[in-house]
A and B are shown apart, each in its own frame.
Chain A
């Protein structure tokens, strides 16, 4: 057993690391000069990071117009704004659909609304990592108003058929919010073509930015009411929140370093091409899974993920212990536990949780080989327990 001299970071489904040098430089520059903005007296030397980031994200996701991209703290913040804002226009007790694949960023807002008696909630099961469109259709009732679902599972790495599901929902007049926390930056996304009403993203995962910045795209802003009010730097004589985008949802001072990082991260991705990123991830993920499957006591929960996410357990060891051994004995950073997605784990491992590897563009083939070998070594020794006496 050889510990790698530098840490191998495979927790990219939580937060990507490292960041491109361009991102670090953008953050430095954003703090080195005063904030630029119309109506400000700081001159024109600085960059307009808000516009740069908005246009970069809109380009990457084919989201039009760019003003319909609004910035928030992260995907969880976006989902809360979208869910609460949409339901503000629905009567008490309307029916909402979601799935067992969701992260707590979707489940907790919805379960809280259900507890308050504001919605009736149906949680749809998945099969082989996917929520079937026909299951969605069968669950729609005359009072169904909203469906919130993940685009890509943060546990199984499966990408959902949001195109078919969106078509079904729209045929029944159901509003469709998609959680893109795991897909933005990882796979090509064309929000102009997809039947999605709102798409939430975060900046610090696949988009290679830093924590503290996220956002959402909204096809028709009038469908979602603002739930936060405050200064926007526009129309300041009015005592009411502007109705137009993006000020409708962006209140208070922007996170300029976060936006600078997001713009740089997205531009970095665009310079490589999302297709190239997805291809490399697919190859490395397939390698990992092939290696892990060589050990009969390793369970891989999705052998064909569309995202670079590999969830597994080693029989005879707690996932938490495997993570500990990986970190201490091999210098590998993985994620263990429920990954904030408790219902997925109830379905796949009885709620015990799993070890998760998440890869990024910066994960090398050598790191994959080393980490796969480490897991196999742990698995080969999992049954070697001896009496210490």
Chain B
């Protein structure tokens, strides 16, 4: 799955920066359990084909509907330059069935250190 382009953006009242992304394919339901490897996922299955939220504290949050080709992402502004590449990688690395998470894990750890240093100085 790939992010094709950003179709809308705005600064939000809570201090985050929202970007809406257009994807090359509808989000499959299996995508949620994949996301759970990297943060907290909540799914309300009875709304549409399933409304989900993903939260990776200090990085970004994602929300959308299964079967939709757009997602809304809210970046923590202070570290957006560090985390945006990981978001793209999160989508491109997704494969139906078992996914190899090792590359993502390594990237996550590398970015995590820089995010923590930027936000908390350690």
User: Which residues does A use to contact B, with CB under 8 Å?
Assistant: 1, 321, 324-325, 328-329, 337-338, 353, 377-378, 381-382, 384-389
Q: A329-B47, A388-B33 are in contact. Are A338 and B13 (CB under 8 A)?
A: yes
Which residues of B have CB within 8 Å of A378? 47
Instruction: Tell me whether A381 and B63 are in contact (CB under 8 A).
Output: no
Q: A328-B65, A338-B13, A378-B47 are in contact. Are A388 and B36 (CB under 8 A)?
A: yes
Contact of B32 among A321, A337, A353, A388 (CB under 8 A): A388
Which chain B residue has the least Cβ–Cβ distance from A337?
A: B13
Q: A1-B48, A325-B51 are in contact. Are A388 and B65 (CB under 8 A)?
A: no
Decide yes or no whether B41 CB sits under 8 A from chain A: yes
Which chain A residue has the least Cβ–Cβ distance from B30?
A: A388
Contact of A321 among B36, B41, B45, B53 (CB under 8 A): B53
Which residues of A have CB within 8 Å of B46? 381, 384
Instruction: Tell me whether A382 and B44 are in contact (CB under 8 A).
Output: yes
Within B1-57, which residues are at the interface with A (CB < 8 Å)? 12-14, 29, 32-33, 35-36, 41-48, 51-53
- Tell me the bound Cα distance from A337 to B14 in angstroms: 8
Question: Across the A-B interface, how many residue pairs have beta carbons closer than 8 Å?
Answer: 50
Which residues of A have CB within 8 Å of B78? none
Which residues of A have CB within 8 Å of B29? 388
Q: Could you say which interface size class chain B belongs to?
A: 20 to 34
Instruction: Tell me whether A384 and B65 are in contact (CB under 8 A).
Output: no
- Tell me the bound Cα distance from A324 to B47 in angstroms: 12
B57 smallest CB distance to A (angstroms): 15
Which chain B residue has the least Cβ–Cβ distance from A328?
A: B65
Which chain A residue has the least Cβ–Cβ distance from B51?
A: A325
Instruction: Tell me whether A389 and B13 are in contact (CB under 8 A).
Output: no
Q: A321-B63, A328-B68, A338-B13 are in contact. Are A386 and B43 (CB under 8 A)?
A: yes
Q: A384-B44, A384-B45, A388-B52 are in contact. Are A324 and B13 (CB under 8 A)?
A: no
Which chain A residue has the least Cβ–Cβ distance from B48?
A: A329
